[in-house]
Structure 1
Amino acid sequence: MEKNRGRSDKAALWLVLLFAGLGIALIAINDVSNRLLAGVHAYTVGEGHWARAQKQATISIVKYLYTEDEQFLDTFHHNIDVIEGNRLGRTELTKSAPNYDVVEEEFLRGQHRPEDIPKLVWMYEKLSLYTPFKIAVNHWIEGDLLIGFMADAANNVESFVERGDLTESEINHLSDHIFYLERQLATVEKNFALSISEAADWLYTRVYWINRIAIVVILLTGLIFAIVRVEILRKWGEKLYHSEKKFRQVLTHSKDVIYQLDIKTGEYIYITPSVKNLLGYTSEELIRGGLSFVLSLTHPEDLKRMKAEVLQYDSDDIEKIVAKDSEFRFKTKDGDYKWVSNKRSVLKDSNGKPSAIIGNVRDVSDWKKGVLELSSSVKEKEMLLSEIHHRVKNNLSIVSSLIELQKNSSDNGADKGLQEIQLRIKSIALVHEKLYQNETFADVDLAEYIEDLVETVYTTFNTEEKKISLQKNMDSLSVNIKRAVPIGLICNEMLNNCYKYAFEGVDEGVISIDLKVRDNKAKLTISDNGIGLPEDFEEMKKQSLGMTLIEVFTKQLDGELSYKSDNGTIFTIEFDVDA
């Protein structure tokens, strides 16, 4: 539809451009027509001045011939000067680069009106090559030649008069010659006037028909444009009708309820008929009842929240408010409640201000029921998992208690082995204790776990004979049970080694536990200021169960183990946080 509309718009645009072009052409034609007619008029007026001056010159020279009155000779020269001005002006125009100041000056001398001179110049320059106008100019040139002969005749008359010996025969001869020239000039004048008239008719005829053709073309273009626009509007109307019909069918058969709410009045403008399937009420009933009736159907537990949202419809933040989907319960006509989801958007008026809310209400009762059942199931599993961790911890505590009883009935050599086993069991039990105390049942705070583990080992090994103090500096880090158990067992073995071997022969010491987390790497360091590692430690560790466990659990963590003697012993393991 958009593609067809684009084509129609382009066609209409081309018609508008054509129409505008023809209009401009018509204006230009009218301008040329007006200039041509004004030019012809100027030439006609000029021809009148020229003919009058020629006749006055002829009469004046004849009177001078018979009376020898100088006044008539002056009149002759005055009229000849008018004709000479027209000749010199025309001659200047024939040059390749005419001086228009000279042209104006000579035409003024030829008694042309100042406002007519630009018209004379324009017409001469534009039409001098066209045949009808060219003929008229040739007659003009011929007249100028005859005027020259007339001037020569006048000079002869003046010479004879000044000599004073004119005879009647000479007077008659000169008079006949002058009247002969006058008849010739009359013929030229007549031909010039006729040529100008023919040129005017030639120009008028062509301008007239060009003008009429342009008008007809403009009218036809306007008619075509109107027909095309009507057809386009008709097609758009049909497409709009079918689109609206299709849209209404979609709305009518949609399971969702679509509505439009006027913000100012709080009245529903439109509600789709599908609301009857959702609530049992018809769209007319809800529109008639308005927003207050809809709120009355809202579940009491959701009513306060819904009223608060409705009161904010007049605020400037309405777009932010409706952008958030809301879920609430509606009471159906049968008295049951249904969970619905309300998605909304703001409709703005021509001034850009919010005028209405368009909403889509969907039945989400089944989905809500599934969420509630899932939530209940998760809670049951959490309780079950908590109980499992609690029972594992209790069972491990029972095993530890049994070992404690066995220690009391065993010799000192077996007692130490049982104590080590007991501490390992306690470190595992402590993990389960932390898990069932945690809300997530998945992760353990490693710093908190190690601190409790350190206290357990300290309680086991602490004696009055030796004063061993602890220093702890640990960053917070959450780990799952799969990683917490091996880390706890590693800590247990390292602390065991510190208490058992680091302070032989000394009465006091310090054990430091550091946990640092940097760039997705965790670094656990347990050090002491005791006697350090023995020289044959590498051989001894092969026979040590504790070191074997440390290395095995470090590999389980995909970590790296390092140790050294430096004013005591330093054990370090590094592992990835997100591994």
Structure 2
Amino acid sequence: MNEPAINVRGRDKEDGSAPRSRLRQILPREFASLIALAALAVMLTVIMLELQTSATAYIIGESHWSKAQQYASHVLHGYAASGDPQQLKLARDALRVPLSDHQARLALERDPPDLAAARQGFLRGLNAPQDVDRMIRMYRYFNNAPFFRDSVAQWRIGDAHVIALQGIADEMEAAHAAGQVTAVQTHAWQRRILELDATLRPIEAAFSQSLVDGARMLKTILTVASILLFLAIAGVLILILRWSLRRIHASEGMFRSAFHQAAVGMLKMKLDGRILEANEAIGEILNCPPEELQGKLLGELLDADALARIAL
């Protein structure tokens, strides 16, 4: 007499080809979108942080600019009356800071930009060496951007006044060297110096405030963009999860339908030989309701010869 045909499926040894196939189908679309969004988020964050750092570098540079200009104005005010060459030297040393930044800006506005001259100018302007390259990049690529464009306009106005201050220094030096300085001339020089200094202070403040406003705007943009990208990434992950669950449920449904409707007796078993699930056909073969087979050992139901043939 022939032994009953039994198909045994082990849950702990599931075939990995179906999951791998599903992953291969997901990767070209959903995973690629996810990777692209994550890369965009990282790139946007790096750009925004770089712009914020560059704006901070310009604000620090403006601090050196304004301190040097104010010190030069103070020393030149005294030099107008004393004619002391040492005071003139101190004033010229101080003026070298804003004038070096002026030369750096002009170098960047050339066609093509003179990057070496710009770098040297920013360094002579007492800007931190580690900030110089990012200051150059920001001016080259964002000089017409909102807020920074306004700062550049204030910078140009400030440079014109510093050059005028240097002109007064040259004029006073020539007059003192010729010994042709009168009290009236001294008073006129001092009045012009004070007027230039008073004019430059709000210009310097406007330059920094524009950069501060720009940095605040960048922070807001970064925050909003980060939230939107997070939501986009979360949305893609949810789509991937739902798609995967649908495929798994569909596959499981097809298997369960085939399992229970099969004419061949079938069992799902654990590796230790205990039955997890049985179909109707095996119940009829073994003359036992399928639900009562759950949890039993296969060896309790079949003789040794049948077990040996199943193992083979």
Q: TM-score, normalised by structure 1?
A: 0.44
**1:102 alignment partner AA:** A
CA distance in 2, matches of 1:226, 1:288: 42
Quote the offset at 1:88 in angstroms: 1.0
Q: 1:213 aligns with which of 228, 241, 247?
A: 228
CA contact (8 A) 1:135 1:195 kept: yes
Task: Give runs of aligned pairs for residues 86-125 of structure 1, distance below 5 A.
Answer: 86-125=101-140
Task: Give runs of aligned pairs for residues 481-560 of structure 1, distance below 5 A.
Answer: none
Q: 1:196 to 1:168 in 2, by over 3 A?
A: same
1:175 aligns with 2:185: no
CA contact (8 A) 1:8 1:232 kept: no
Q: 2:61 aligns with which of 33, 46, 49?
A: 46
CA distance in 1, matches of 2:247, 2:282: 32
Quote the offset at 1:140 in angstroms: 0.8
Quote the offset at 1:200 in angstroms: 2.2
Q: 1:245 to 1:31 in 2, by over 3 A?
A: same
Instruction: State the partner residue of 1:290.
Output: 304
Quote the offset at 1:238 in angstroms: 2.2
Higher relative contact order (CA 8 A, sep 6+): 2
1:80 aligns with 2:95: yes
CA contact (8 A) 1:87 1:144 kept: yes
Instruction: State the partner residue of 2:291.
Output: none
CA distance in 1, matches of 2:299, 2:238: 52
| Deviation string, structure 1 residues 25-76 (Cα, Å, up to 9, x no partner) | 0000001011111110111111111111111110111121223222211111
Instruction: State the partner residue of 2:149.
Output: 134
CA contact (8 A) 2:142 2:148 kept: yes
Instruction: State the partner residue of 1:196.
Output: 211
1:242 aligns with 2:251: no
Q: 1:186 to 1:235 in 2, by over 3 A?
A: same
Quote the offset at 1:160 in angstroms: 2.4
CA distance in 2, matches of 1:140, 1:163: 35
**1:222 alignment partner AA:** L
CA distance in 1, matches of 2:153, 2:144: 11
CA distance in 2, matches of 1:175, 1:14: 73
CA distance in 2, matches of 1:276, 1:233: 31
Instruction: State the partner residue of 1:302.
Output: none
**2:88 alignment partner AA:** L
Quote the offset at 1:139 in angstroms: 1.1
SS of the residue corresponding to residue 213 of structure 1 reads: helix
SS of the residue corresponding to residue 263 of structure 2 reads: helix
Task: Give runs of aligned pairs for residues 254-403 of structure 1, distance below 5 A.
Answer: 287=301, 289-291=303-305, 356-357=311-312
Q: 1:252 to 1:44 in 2, by over 3 A?
A: same
Instruction: State the partner residue of 2:14.
Output: none
**2:128 alignment partner AA:** R
**1:252 alignment partner AA:** G
Q: Percent identity?
A: 19
Quote the offset at 1:250 in angstroms: 1.9
| Deviation string, structure 1 residues 532-552 (Cα, Å, up to 9, x no partner) | xxxxxxxxxxxxxxxxxxxxx
Q: 1:7 to 1:110 in 2, by over 3 A?
A: same
Instruction: State the partner residue of 2:7.
Output: none
Quote the offset at 1:110 in angstroms: 0.7
1:251 aligns with 2:280: no
**2:219 alignment partner AA:** Y
CA distance in 2, matches of 1:276, 1:205: 72
Q: 1:78 to 1:239 in 2, by over 3 A?
A: same
CA distance in 1, matches of 2:218, 2:298: 76
CA distance in 2, matches of 1:194, 1:76: 27
CA contact (8 A) 2:265 2:285 kept: no
Instruction: State the partner residue of 1:467.
Output: none
SS of the residue corresponding to residue 144 of structure 2 reads: coil
Instruction: State the partner residue of 2:42.
Output: 27
SS of the residue corresponding to residue 70 of structure 2 reads: helix
Number of paired residues?
280
CA contact (8 A) 2:26 2:240 kept: no
Q: 1:117 to 1:43 in 2, by over 3 A?
A: same
* Bigger fraction of residues in strand: 1
The farther-off stretch of 25-34 and 13-22 is 13-22
**1:290 alignment partner AA:** A
Quote the offset at 1:127 in angstroms: 0.7
SS of the residue corresponding to residue 250 of structure 1 reads: coil
Q: 1:286 to 1:233 in 2, by over 3 A?
A: closer
CA distance in 1, matches of 2:126, 2:162: 17
CA distance in 2, matches of 1:213, 1:142: 40
Q: 1:14 aligns with which of 20, 26, 29?
A: 29
Q: Greater Rg, structure 1 or structure 2? A: 1
Instruction: State the partner residue of 2:70.
Output: 55
CA distance in 2, matches of 1:11, 1:116: 44
Unaligned runs of 5+ in 1: 278-282, 296-309, 311-341, 345-355, 358-579
Q: 1:46 to 1:285 in 2, by over 3 A?
A: closer
CA distance in 1, matches of 2:274, 2:30: 45
CA contact (8 A) 2:119 2:136 kept: no
Calculate the aligned-residue CA RMSD, in Å: 3.4
**1:31 alignment partner AA:** V
Instruction: State the partner residue of 1:160.
Output: 175
Quote the offset at 1:9 in angstroms: 6.1
